[in-house]
Chain A
Amino acid sequence: MAEIILRDLWKFYDDVEAVRGINLDIAHNEFIALVGPSGCGKTTTLRMIAGLEDITAGIIEVGDRIINDVPPKDRDIAMVFQNYALYPHMSVYQNMSFGLKLRKTPKDEIERRVRAAADILNIGELLERRPKQLSGGQRQRVAMGRAIVRDPQVFLFDEPLSNLDAKLRVQMRTEIKKIHQRVKTTVVYVTHDQVEAMTLADRIVVMNEGIIEQVGTPEEMYDAPQTLFVASFIGSPSMNFLPCQVEAENGGLAIRLTDNLSFAAPPDRGDRYSPYIGKPMLFGIRPEHISDKRPHTEPTHLDFTSDVVVLEPMGIDTMVFINVGETEITTRSRPRAVSQVGEPMDFTIDMAHMHLIDPESEKVV
């Protein structure tokens, strides 16, 4: 149970800069998800917290103690690895009790804690089995059980669900959330799957090329991304981006997408957007904010018509692909309201959820 502080953390591998000066404060009992594409430095950061990688520069504090030079065995940190990393020559019980035995915990205490953790994870009947006799999901549970019994200050997860099939992954995701609610402790969870990050974390840290792009709650990440990268990374299907120009129009501002398509910008954003009049900008809007035409009263809801290019039924919604200028964009409609492929269809766009991005700085303005 502890807070973690990362200060100006750097990691070089020879010439490669894996982590480039990140700062992060993780609160006591907080569930933090580090998310980003492969090679963004998230796993390296996690391994530095664990003590499995040396720190090139900067400081890591766990619970008011600088742990830069503390060996992994004395950090009181438990980690769940992507490939489970179970000890193949030990039974499940031995796997789970290994850490406690090394710390000279009394035998009855070990027994009590292993049983309790096994109950939480529903692996009570598997305690005598060897790892090779378990299925993927069961191994995953044992790997978590091994971490839970130690009752560590910090829990680290390194893409723990990526080796499971899709159905089991969703199931285990819920399990992890439940476990965190029961076993309160600080969690750092690395994943490349933004859905996992959104569903599990109290706060999300999006990393890219060794730096932190943005830190925030899942809602902030979704509603108010600060950079082009975060805007495109968070959300599934991902946000549409279109080249646009900001124009003055009828005393307000308008976003011009093509010669004959432009939408009035939300009235309250006049001050924010006016410096960018005439510059080439990027317009961002999520698929769910362009729907089939619906009755509306808000001034930010605007209608337009376009030909359907491709339909992708998803069950609850149908993704409708349309062309705006030369760019194909995704929209989300009710299944009954869509037109046939090649035919025109009426849409409503909610401009209150638009984002304007400066392509030079790649920042959302």
Chain B
Amino acid sequence: MSSGEATLTASDGRALVLNKVPVWRQRKSMANYIALLPYVFFALFPFYIMFITSIKSDREINNLGQSPFWATGVATENYAYLATNTGYFEHWMLNTFIVTVASTIISVTIGTLAAYALARLRFRGVEIFGVAVFISYLVPQTLLFLPLIDVINTIDDYVPIRDTYWSLILTYPTFLIPFVTWLLLGYFKTIPVEVEECAYLDGCSRLGALCRVVLPMAMPGIMCAVLFSATLCWNELLYSLVFIQDETAKTLSVGVITELIRGDIYYWGSLMAACFTAALPIILVFAFFMDYFVSGLTAGAIK
């Protein structure tokens, strides 16, 4: 059938006219979109301000006579400042990237194994263990960083990790592993146990069944865990603020607020340029993995 042309024929050979979408249905879908508008505005407005400010020159930003909501020209000086006068790209972004990848790999690996064990194995205290994982996820980071300082200092006596990204790679999993475990626990429970049992009868050991059958089936959930923990690492502020003082070892979140805010002076232009650039990778990752993400959330995390 060619597009748009009515080529359906009735039983007596007449050409049939395609029915129009009824008005009430059009109204309904219009109402749906209108209902979404406030949310879209609310979610996107900060990004807009961030972007519009980052492409203004300092003079334009400080001109109180001009509206802050749009720019009169495009200036690249803020981005140039980031690249030349700070460690933004060569240190902060690189450090953040390394810490994110390493912590995520560690946390998702350990969390996946733990979640599988809690979902499938029947041992004494399995319920209590599951609850304990959840509770440890609820312990606020703002309390946990105090004892962790002591831990890092003790380790530092033997291996120098303070003031390097290794201290972050070691401490981020303290909140990531419980999170990943809790997320995947629900997901593994939705995978029918018969499929796994069938793999045993087909000749798999438990580990074989896990790798060949369970993990591929759990891929949406695992991708979801990877994305969430990567986002948490990328945006983390408190631990990196506490454990890192050296300028070249800083991550994005700390670098931006310590180097671009001096006392009560805010370098708004470069600050916004840094925030916008820092947000881009996360936006891109989410955009590409959205399908995985949605199915992961509906099929596992919520249950």
Q: Which residues of A contact B (CB under 8 A)?
A: 50-52, 71-73, 75, 77-79, 81-83, 85-89, 98-99, 102-103, 146, 150
Q: Which residues of B contact A86 (CB under 8 A)?
A: 195
Q: Which residues of A contact B201 (CB under 8 A)?
A: 50-52, 72-73, 75, 77-79, 99
Interface string of B173-213 (1 = CB under 8 A from A): 00000000000000000001011011111111100100011
In the complex, what residue of chain A is closest to B191 when comparing beta carbons? A88
**How far apart are the CA atoms of A209 and B192 in the complex, in Å?**
27
Are A52's CB and B200's CB within 8 A? yes
Given that A98-B202, A102-B203, A102-B208 are contacting pairs, would A83 and B217 also be in contact in the complex, using a CB cutoff of 8 Å? no
Are A71's CB and B200's CB within 8 A? yes
Are B216's CB and A83's CB within 8 A? no
The main secondary structure of chain A at its interface with chain B is loop
**How far apart are the CA atoms of A116 and B184 in the complex, in Å?**
40
Q: Which residues of B contact A78 (CB under 8 A)?
A: 201-202
Q: What total of A-B pairs shows CB separation below 8 Å?
A: 61
**Min CB gap A31→B, angstroms:** 19
**Min CB gap A49→B, angstroms:** 11
**How far apart are the CA atoms of A340 and B101 in the complex, in Å?**
82
Q: Which residues of A contact B199 (CB under 8 A)?
A: 87, 98
**How far apart are the CA atoms of A88 and B217 in the complex, in Å?**
7
Are B198's CB and A51's CB within 8 A? no
B207-227: which have CB < 8 Å to A? 208, 212-213, 216-217, 219
Partner of A85, one of B197, B205, B219: B197
Q: Which residues of B contact A99 (CB under 8 A)?
A: 201-203
In the complex, what residue of chain B is closest to A102 when comparing beta carbons? B203
**How far apart are the CA atoms of A86 and B195 in the complex, in Å?**
6
Q: Which residues of B contact A150 (CB under 8 A)?
A: 202
**How far apart are the CA atoms of A85 and B197 in the complex, in Å?**
9
In the complex, what residue of chain A is closest to B203 when comparing beta carbons? A102
**Min CB gap B145→A, angstroms:** 41
Size range of the interface on B?
10 to 19
**How far apart are the CA atoms of A94 and B279 in the complex, in Å?**
42
Partner of B203, one of A73, A79, A85, A88: A73
**How far apart are the CA atoms of A71 and B198 in the complex, in Å?**
13
Pairs A-B, 7 closest by C-beta atoms:
A99-B202, A85-B194, A102-B203, A72-B200, A89-B216, A85-B198, A81-B194
**How far apart are the CA atoms of A177 and B204 in the complex, in Å?**
29
**How far apart are the CA atoms of A83 and B205 in the complex, in Å?**
22
**How far apart are the CA atoms of A91 and B217 in the complex, in Å?**
13
**Min CB gap A114→B, angstroms:** 14
Are A51's CB and B200's CB within 8 A? yes
The main secondary structure of chain B at its interface with chain A is helix
Q: List 14 A-B contacts (CB under 8 A).
A: A51-B201, A52-B201, A72-B197, A72-B201, A79-B198, A81-B197, A83-B192, A83-B194, A85-B192, A86-B195, A87-B198, A99-B201, A102-B202, A102-B204
**How far apart are the CA atoms of A45 and B158 in the complex, in Å?**
58
**How far apart are the CA atoms of A86 and B199 in the complex, in Å?**
10
**How far apart are the CA atoms of A342 and B187 in the complex, in Å?**
61
**Min CB gap A257→B, angstroms:** 49
Q: Which residues of B contact A75 (CB under 8 A)?
A: 201
Known pairs A81-B194, A102-B203 / 7 extra A-B pairs, C-beta < 8 Å:
A50-B201, A73-B200, A73-B201, A83-B194, A85-B195, A87-B195, A87-B199
**Min CB gap A160→B, angstroms:** 12
B243-281: which have CB < 8 Å to A? none
**Min CB gap B299→A, angstroms:** 12
Partner of A103, one of B192, B195, B203: B203
**How far apart are the CA atoms of A89 and B222 in the complex, in Å?**
15
**Min CB gap A86→B, angstroms:** 7
In the complex, what residue of chain A is closest to B195 when comparing beta carbons? A85
Q: Which residues of B contact A71 (CB under 8 A)?
A: 200, 205
**Min CB gap A117→B, angstroms:** 14
Are A87's CB and B200's CB within 8 A? no
Q: Which residues of A contact B202 (CB under 8 A)?
A: 73, 78, 98-99, 102, 146, 150
In the complex, what residue of chain B is closest to A85 when comparing beta carbons? B194
**Min CB gap B213→A, angstroms:** 6
Are A81's CB and B198's CB within 8 A? yes
**Min CB gap A268→B, angstroms:** 50
**How far apart are the CA atoms of A98 and B200 in the complex, in Å?**
11
Q: Which residues of A contact B213 (CB under 8 A)?
A: 87
Q: Which residues of B contact A77 (CB under 8 A)?
A: 201
**Min CB gap A298→B, angstroms:** 53
**How far apart are the CA atoms of A50 and B201 in the complex, in Å?**
7
In the complex, what residue of chain B is closest to A84 when comparing beta carbons? B194
Q: Which residues of B contact A103 (CB under 8 A)?
A: 203
Q: Which residues of B contact A87 (CB under 8 A)?
A: 195, 198-199, 213, 217
In the complex, what residue of chain A is closest to B219 when comparing beta carbons? A89
**Min CB gap B208→A, angstroms:** 7
Q: Which residues of B contact A98 (CB under 8 A)?
A: 199, 202, 212
**Min CB gap A74→B, angstroms:** 8
Are B197's CB and A52's CB within 8 A? yes
**How far apart are the CA atoms of A255 and B199 in the complex, in Å?**
58
Given that A79-B198, A88-B217 are contacting pairs, would A73 and B204 also be in contact in the complex, using a CB cutoff of 8 Å? yes
**How far apart are the CA atoms of A79 and B198 in the complex, in Å?**
7
In the complex, what residue of chain A is closest to B216 when comparing beta carbons? A89
Among B198, B199, B200, B205, chain A packs the most CB atoms within 10 A around the CB of B198
**How far apart are the CA atoms of A102 and B198 in the complex, in Å?**
13
Among B192, B201, B202, B208, chain A packs the most CB atoms within 10 A around the CB of B201
**How far apart are the CA atoms of A77 and B200 in the complex, in Å?**
10
**How far apart are the CA atoms of A78 and B202 in the complex, in Å?**
7
